[in-house]
Amino acid sequence: MHKQKIIFFIVAMINCAALAVAEDHPPASINVPVPSAPSSDSIVSWSPSQELLKDLGDEEKFSTFLIRPPKGYSLTQLPGPPGAELFTWRGAVRADQSSPFLMVTIVTPPPEEQKQYTALEALDILMAGIEQRRDNWKQLPVEKGQINNFEFIRTYWMGTDKETGSEMKGFMYVTLDGKNIVQIASQDLASNDKAFVTAETAALTFRK
């Protein structure tokens, strides 16, 4: 249960770090990339488009990992409970007071935790926390692939923020590093395709 509490805290942090959007912001149509779904037994390689790498900054080290965040984004390490490290790269504040972001979370289970959660179990817990804060929820099928020798699963989601009425979209990648759970996620207004794609391009540069 201790580990689940950490995971639900992370969900809360994702929503707190999410975009501040005025309630009268006009809704936009939802548009997220729809990747081809591999068979249940296949592991495909996920890598960033060479053309989109120009939108990323230099590689940065955090915890024991490396990533190329979107160009101009600033890193903040958020406080968390024991066993959780939260790193957020945030872009400039927009005219509507929203801002794009990329979050990486590392969850280390306590020594007394006996259960070894799978990546899918962790993703399901995290997604359930987001879903409860959304109306008109849609989630694409979970896929699996490899990023720089790490086997990830990922999913995309869409929904209406219950507090602001804004149409949102997001992605979530989850992998295991030993007993640690690593999550890479972002969400944005449904109309902000460029920032959304750039955040995912950054996620695909994750390595150790």
Here the CATH number for the domain that contains residue 29 is: 3.40.1000.10
Q: Judge whether 35 lies within some domain.
A: yes
What pLDDT does 12 receive? 52
Residue 205, helix vs strand vs coil:
coil
Residue 194 has pLDDT above 80, yes or no: yes
Predicted confidence (pLDDT) at residue 19 exceeds the cutoff of 50: no
Q: Collect all residues with Cβ–Cβ distance below 8 Å to 42 and sequence separation of at least 6.
A: none
Residue 159, in any domain of the structure = yes
Task: Dump pLDDT digits (tens) for 70-104.
Answer: 999 999 988 777 788 999 999 998 888 888 999 99
The domain of 33 spans 2-203
Percentage of the chain beyond pLDDT 70 is 78
What are the structure tokens assigned to 169, written together? 């979209």
Residue 195 lies in a domain: yes
Q: Phi then psi for 120, rounded to 5 degrees?
A: -65, -40
Please report the beta strands in the chain, taking only residues with DSSP state E, as ranges in sequence order.
44-45, 60-62, 65-67, 74-78, 84-90, 101-107, 134-139, 143-147, 150-161, 167-177, 180-189
pLDDT at residue 144 tops 50: yes
What is the pLDDT averaged over residues 162-186?
93
pLDDT at residue number 21: 36
pLDDT above 70 (res 182): yes
Alpha helices per DSSP H over the chain: 2-17, 119-131, 193-203
Report the pLDDT averaged over residues 63-72: 97
The answer to whether residue 208 sits within a structural domain is: no
% of the chain residues with pLDDT over 90:
57
Which are the contacts of 159, defined by CB distance < 8 A and separation ≥ 6?
A: 130, 131, 134, 135, 136, 137, 138, 167, 168, 169
Q: In DSSP terms, which residues pair with 135 in a beta bridge? A: 160
Count of structural domains within the chain: 1
Report residue 54 as tokens: 């120009």
Q: What is the mean pLDDT of residues 22-26?
A: 34
Residue with tokens 């081809």: 36
Q: Note whether residue 95 is domain-resident.
A: yes
